[in-house]
Amino acid sequence: SYELTQPPSVSVALGQTARITCGGNNIEGKNVHWYQQEPGQAPILVIFRDSKRPSGIPERFSGSNSRNTATLTISSAQAGDEADYYCQVWDGRNVIFGGGTKLTVL
Amino acid sequence: EVQVVESGGGLVQPGGSLRLSCAASGFIFSSYSMTWVRQAPGKGLEWVANIKQDGNEKSYVDSVKGRFTISRDNTKNLLYLQMSSLRAEDTAVYFCARLQWLLPGGYFDSWGQGTPVIVSS
């Protein structure tokens, strides 16, 4: 079955750029979507179809997808960006989530 | 405003059954596929089941096949998850979400706050 690999944690200094990766075999052939989840809260969609931002999501959030790695980039990271981030794809009829990455803003 | 609200969670003994509900509002429910996603304590998101708009096409993660049934009532704007033969490993917060279909794979654009299920004796 298809697997997505995310780093368990990423740290970024306040105001700097954070990059969270999502690895999968030939992932560039899939639509990759990203969710932000704060503790005790529901997930929120922050990027869909690799690089599209839903309305209400700041331009600081961007995405890319190439070969075997999709990347969520958060520029000018703020304290409020501290959360868990999950990538998601489909494998046939099944939905696959990455293991999640905890973003810490220092 | 698009909204989905889960209910029905609680404490159940191993081997028991529980039915979760998800009430949808603010959109044409019958036009969207819907999904259940769960999150065990301290763990990541795990997809559980999807159902197409008319309820005729369903899919499940392998670990719940034969034990869980997803269904919907488009006249009442309700989504359900009937869970039986529950195991300790089914303990999780269960989220309902709306699926925006996209080829080759869609995304979940509206989520409820979740309802907790605890399987324990």
Contacts of A100 in chain B (CB under 8 A): 44-45
Contacting B with CB below 8 Å, chain A residues are 29-31, 33, 35, 37, 41-45, 48-49, 54, 84, 86, 88-90, 93-100
What's the confidence (pLDDT) of residue B103? 78
Q: How far apart are CA B52 and CA B111, in angstroms?
A: 17
Contacts of A27 in chain B (CB under 8 A): none
| B57: its two tokens | 């096409």
Question: Which of A18, A14, A12 shows the shortest CA–CA distance to A34?
Answer: A18
The residues near B3 (Cβ < 8 Å, ≥ 6 apart) are B24, B25, B26, B110, B112
Q: Is the pLDDT of residue B105 over 90?
A: no
Residue with tokens 């096949």: B65
What's the confidence (pLDDT) of residue B92? 98
The residues near A86 (Cβ < 8 Å, ≥ 6 apart) are A6, A34, A35, A37, A43, A97, A98, A100, A101, B44, B45
Contacts of B95 in chain A (CB under 8 A): 42-43
The low-confidence residues of chain A, meaning pLDDT below 70, are none
Which stretches does DSSP call E strand in A24-97? 33-37, 44-47, 61-66, 69-74, 83-91, 94-97
Residue with tokens 């309802």: B115
Q: Provide the 3-class DSSP secondary structure of residue A26.
A: coil
Contacts of A96 in chain B (CB under 8 A): 47
- The pairing of strands B10-12 and B3-7 is unpaired
Q: How many CA atoms lie within 13 A of A50 on its CB side?
A: 14
Q: In this complex, which of B44, B102, B114 lies closest to A86 when CB atoms are compared?
A: B44
Tell me whether the omega of the peptide bond preceding residue A8 falls within 30 degrees of 0, making it cis: no
Q: In this complex, which of A45, A99, A100 lies closest to B107 when CB atoms are compared?
A: A45
- The predicted-structure confidence for A56-75, as pLDDT tens digits, reads as follows 999 999 999 999 999 999 99
Q: CA–CA distance from A66 to each of A63, A71, B40, B100 (Å)?
A: 10, 9, 31, 23
Residue type, A59: E
- The predicted-structure confidence for B40-95, as pLDDT tens digits, reads as follows 999 999 999 999 999 999 999 999 999 999 999 999 999 999 999 999 999 999 99
